[in-house]
């Protein structure tokens, strides 16, 4: 009987040791995953690009931005993997001072994206060179171009295009 008690005691101690070791290894796996995520981000930031991205880089796409009511062509967006250039069509005259250009498209959408990127830069999760940048060019008092660089993902690109189309539509209604 003494041998059985010793075996049970040994099994209980082994069980406790195994449970503790499993917890340690799970913690180590989580730390390793965090380190891998960081290394992946650094590699992407330091100009490492998968072959599929390198092949797509020279390619560009052109999308038409249309008025939400009536379908009138408002602008053309030239899209590459790292930038989008939106140019109002000839005959579409839009002024930066017309609402909601500055209050919505610039202040809420683009500045909002920039603020998120700036936070990632401060946290060391995004290189400063990869943060979103934008510029509005004018010709003869009207918007000639909206340039957005480093939009970084398709969801952001779609948001930029749809909100620009909506904004331009509202601006034309106010003229």
Task: Label each residue of 79-127 as H, E or C.
Answer: ECCCEEEEEECCCCCCCCCCCCHHHHHHHHHHHHHHHHHHHHHHCCCCC
Looking at residue 69, its pLDDT comes to: 78
pLDDT at 103: 94
Which is it for the CA torsion 20, 26, 32, 34, positive or negative? Answer: negative
Name the band, by pLDDT with cuts 50, 70 and 90, for residue 80: very high
Q: How many Cβ atoms are within 10 Å of 74's Cβ, its own excluded? A: 22
pLDDT in tens, 33-76: 888 887 777 776 655 555 545 555 555 899 999 987 778 899 99
Question: Tens digits of per-residue pLDDT, 109-120?
Answer: 999 999 999 999
Q: pLDDT above 70 covers what percent of the chain?
A: 90
Contact 148, 133 (CB under 8 A): yes
**Could you give the percent of the chain with pLDDT greater than 90?**
62
Q: What is the pLDDT of residue 47?
A: 53
Question: Residue 12 corresponds to which tokens in the numbers above?
Answer: 């209980």
Alpha carbons 60 and 84: distance in angstroms, whole number: 9
Q: What is the model's pLDDT at position 70?
A: 79
**Averaged pLDDT for residues 16-28:** 90
Mean pLDDT over 125-151 rounds to 94
- Whole-model pTM: value is 0.66
Burial class (CB in 10 A: 0-12, 13-18, 19+), 117: buried
């Amino acid at each position: 009987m003494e041998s059985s008690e010793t075996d049970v005691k040994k099994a209980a101690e082994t069980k406790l040791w195994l449970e503790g070791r499993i917890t340690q290894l799970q913690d180590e796996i989580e730390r390793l995953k965090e380190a891998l995520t960081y290394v992946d981000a650094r590699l992407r930031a330091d100009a490492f690009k998968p072959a599929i991205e390198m092949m797509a880089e020279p390619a560009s796409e052109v999308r038409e931005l249309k008025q939400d009511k009536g379908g009138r062509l408002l602008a053309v967006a030239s899209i590459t993997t790292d930038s989008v250039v939106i140019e109002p069509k000839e005959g579409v005259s839009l002024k930066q001072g017309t609402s909601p250009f500055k209050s919505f498209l610039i202040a809420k959408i683009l500045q909002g994206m920039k603020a998120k990127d700036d936070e990632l830069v401060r946290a060391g999760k995004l290189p400063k060179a990869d943060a979103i940048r934008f510029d509005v060019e004018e010709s003869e008092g009207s918007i000639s171009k909206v340039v957005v660089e480093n939009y970084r993902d398709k969801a952001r690109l779609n948001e930029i295009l749809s909100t620009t189309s909506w904004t331009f539509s509202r601006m034309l209604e106010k003229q």
